[in-house]
Amino acid sequence: MISAALENQRIDLGKEEEMTEQKSTNITWHKPLVTQVDRETRNRHKGIVLWFTGLPSSGKSTLAHEVERRLFEMGCNSYVLDGDNIRHGLNKNLGFSPEDRKENIRRLGEVAKLFADACVIAITAFISPYREDRDQARALNPQGRFIEVYCKCSVDECEKRDPKGLWQKARKGELKEFTGVSAPYEEPKSPEIVVETDKYDLEKCAQQIVSYLEKKGIVPSASTH
């Protein structure tokens, strides 16, 4: 049993290294003629990564789309990279093992970085359970361009909501590697924003985030619209 477990671990580590290994050679990074500053000057807002994280059913996607709607009405370019949606295409070949979760977030982090460079407010709505993976996504971006939003919600409330019935299935043992039941979730240590989605309604949580962006000069304040 022990030797089999070690062999599986070796295979998983090999798979992880293969996913992140730099295989391309003879490549050169081309500097753009249009810079991020040029885009931000024209669009009148900054390109950033707004990274939502939290337990399943904590309200990440619902809140992310509401923030996107508000930013759109303010004239800002924004786009939600939703966890389930991404797994329908770009990450459809990944499961929910620790190794696949890590690769899932690595890919998302790189995509979100490109969106931000294009002066889009990239809003990611992924569980992203591991602190190390979120920190690596942060490290891809310049200081102040990665904003972690922790959707703080109690397990009891998440289970009560359970819009997809996944918590119930996980409790019955029908789902493996489900975050909050059979897989861990590591809370952020120092997120820029904490929204208590089990205490406040959608409108108040969304306004808290937009107000933060205005205060930091990422988007123009309401008085200048």
Residue 128: active-site member = yes
Closest C-alpha among 146, 148, 103 to residue 12:
103
Distance separating alpha carbons of residues 121 and 40, to the nearest angstrom: 11
Q: Which residues of 70-109 are buried (b: 16+ CB within 10 A; e: fewer)?
A: bbeebebbbbbbbbeebbeeebeebebeebbbbbbbbebb
SS3 210: helix
Q: Which of 57, 128, 182, 221 is catalytic?
A: 128
Amino acid at 117: D
- Active site members: 128
